[in-house]
Structure 1
Amino acid sequence: MQLVSPARRGKERPENLAERIYAQLKDDIFEFRLLPGDRFSEGEIAERMAASRTPVRQALYRLEREGYLEVYFRSGWQVKPFDFAHFEELYEVRIVLELEAVKRLCERPAGELPEALEQLRRTWMVQPEERLQDGREVSRLDERFHCQLVEAAGNREMARLHAEVSEKIRIIRRLDFTQGPRVELTYEEHARILGAILSRRCEEAQLLLKTHIEVSKAEVRKITLHMLHSARQRALPAQG
């Protein structure tokens, strides 16, 4: 975990300090520097971050509200263990919302398609040499692709709920883009989904979309289990 000098701490506004601590801890969780099940105290985080307990506590409670941490009032904090059954449920909600969004988009008259679809076409329906190779950036664009599909359907509550689900599964979903072939496949699959929507082939678009999400989910689960095992193996010598 990154350490911060007292000199830098003294120059930061309290709200900025809490935000930085939050961002650092969230990154530590996402990168498996803090593992599911790991326990720690506010004092340990305050010492590592060279900060007082107040901004640390603000950051920790924010992460708890978002579902990444659990608090035990007599024994400190714990990184929430992975609950794959919960992730399965979130993926199911995501699929329902996205399939309905595709249906609504395909039912729109040709002249009423939203600009968002044209933006997505320019991003994903490109030649192989124009494709990005940075897994992190493609991961960000992939999440945006799916969110924009739902937003384009025109129901703000559907879009809000979908954004919340996307945030909750991001911790594992982004791992799909640590594998080179998955980056290439994402471009190809997104292009086929968009092509079917633009041509009003609703059932085909829905099938392509559902298959795309299901395959990604299966890959992510395998990668997550492997990374957790590897991270725990690396942690064993330090614990010994």
Structure 2
Amino acid sequence: MTTDFQQKRSKGRPEVLAERIYQTLKNDIFEFRLMPGDRFSESEIAERMAVSRTPVRQALFWLEREGYVEVWFRSGWQVRPFDFAYFEELYDLRIVLEREAVRRLCGMAPGRCAELLAELNTFWIDTARLADGKTVSRHDEAFHMALVAAAGNSEMARIHAELTEKIRIIRHLDFTREDRIDATYSEHAAILRAVLKQQTEEAQRILTDHISVSKAEVRKITLHMLQQARLQPVSP
């Protein structure tokens, strides 16, 4: 699922070049090749990518709208510094939205609930586990978004989708370790089983613990990766 902003951008499709620059810069931020607090100019990016400043500026405006960079008056652009308090507030909001979604699902007729969660049940319980962290990360996002969407409140699902986009920059780091991938499979399966048995409190407890542990792990991994990235020698 995409945010409203992404949908509007897709409908009014800008030049492919700006889209490519946007994706490249976003990946650089996600992988810490562009570090929080790093400053740069449009000209530097244009020279690096062998393009004009116009598509670079467009790409940067998209990234600014999504909260990844900020413009500095007369001094170019900056990757937004990490604000862990902000990210933790977003994780807390996730818990509120997803606990409510689980409550609503547990209150549905069992057959209807099973129908809505059938695809999730097949992937997380009945299908062989995947090992690639990036792939599992995408499916993890889809799992949580599907839970909220299945609850039947489109506005709640929209807010949750926007929140998901905002935390993606650090959330994907939770899938860089094999034990965290295994834990995700086990916890998702436990959530689904509790929901399908209409065990509201148990499903909410497992879900809350699942997100809380992920939040703590992501913070530790992010701090470690930031430290490692800063120790890397600068390429000539």
TM-superposed CA distance for 1:115, in Å, is 3.6
- Assess, with a 3 A threshold, how the Cα gap between structure 1 residues 50 and 226 changes in structure 2: closer, same or farther: same
- Assess, with a 3 A threshold, how the Cα gap between structure 1 residues 14 and 188 changes in structure 2: closer, same or farther: closer
The 5 A counterparts of 1:51-90 are 51-90=51-90
Contact residue 38 and residue 79 of structure 1 kept, 8 A: yes
CA distance in 2, matches of 1:198, 1:238: 52
Contact residue 114 and residue 196 of structure 2 kept, 8 A: no
Partner in structure 2 of residue 146 of structure 1: 144
Percent identical pairs in the alignment equals: 67
TM-superposed CA distance for 1:109, in Å, is 1.0
CA distance in 2, matches of 1:14, 1:151: 29
TM-superposed CA distance for 1:153, in Å, is 0.2
Letter in structure 2 aligned against 1:23: Q
Partner in structure 1 of residue 169 of structure 2: 171
The 5 A counterparts of 1:1-240 are 15-113=15-113, 115-126=115-126, 130-234=128-232, 237-238=233-234
Letter in structure 1 aligned against 2:89: E
CA distance in 2, matches of 1:27, 1:177: 16
Letter in structure 2 aligned against 1:33: R
**Worse-matched range after superposition: 14-23 or 220-229:** 14-23
Contact residue 36 and residue 82 of structure 1 kept, 8 A: yes
Which structure has the larger Rg? Answer: 1
Secondary structure at 1:113 match in 2: helix
Contact residue 69 and residue 80 of structure 1 kept, 8 A: yes
TM-superposed CA distance for 1:14, in Å, is 6.5
RMSD: 1.5
CA distance in 2, matches of 1:57, 1:229: 30
CA distance in 2, matches of 1:58, 1:74: 18
Provide runs of 4+ in structure 1 moved above 3 Å: none
Q: CA offsets, 1:61-118, max 9 Å, x none?
A: 1000100001012100000000000001101111100000000000001222264400
Gaps of 5+ in 2: 1-12
Letter in structure 2 aligned against 1:157: E
Contact residue 101 and residue 151 of structure 2 kept, 8 A: yes
CA distance in 2, matches of 1:174, 1:206: 23
User: TM-score under structure 2 normalisation?
Assistant: 0.92
User: TM-score under structure 1 normalisation?
Assistant: 0.91
Gaps of 5+ in 1: 1-12
Contact residue 14 and residue 55 of structure 1 kept, 8 A: no
Secondary structure at 2:117 match in 1: helix
- Assess, with a 3 A threshold, how the Cα gap between structure 1 residues 17 and 198 changes in structure 2: closer, same or farther: same
Letter in structure 1 aligned against 2:211: I
Q: CA offsets, 1:11-64, max 9 Å, x none?
A: xx9610000000000000001000000000000000111111110000001000
- Assess, with a 3 A threshold, how the Cα gap between structure 1 residues 40 and 188 changes in structure 2: closer, same or farther: same
Partner in structure 1 of residue 7 of structure 2: none
CA distance in 2, matches of 1:82, 1:168: 12
Which has the higher relative contact order, 1 or 2, with Cα contacts under 8 A spaced 6 or more apart?
2
Contact residue 114 and residue 152 of structure 1 kept, 8 A: no
Contact residue 69 and residue 78 of structure 2 kept, 8 A: yes
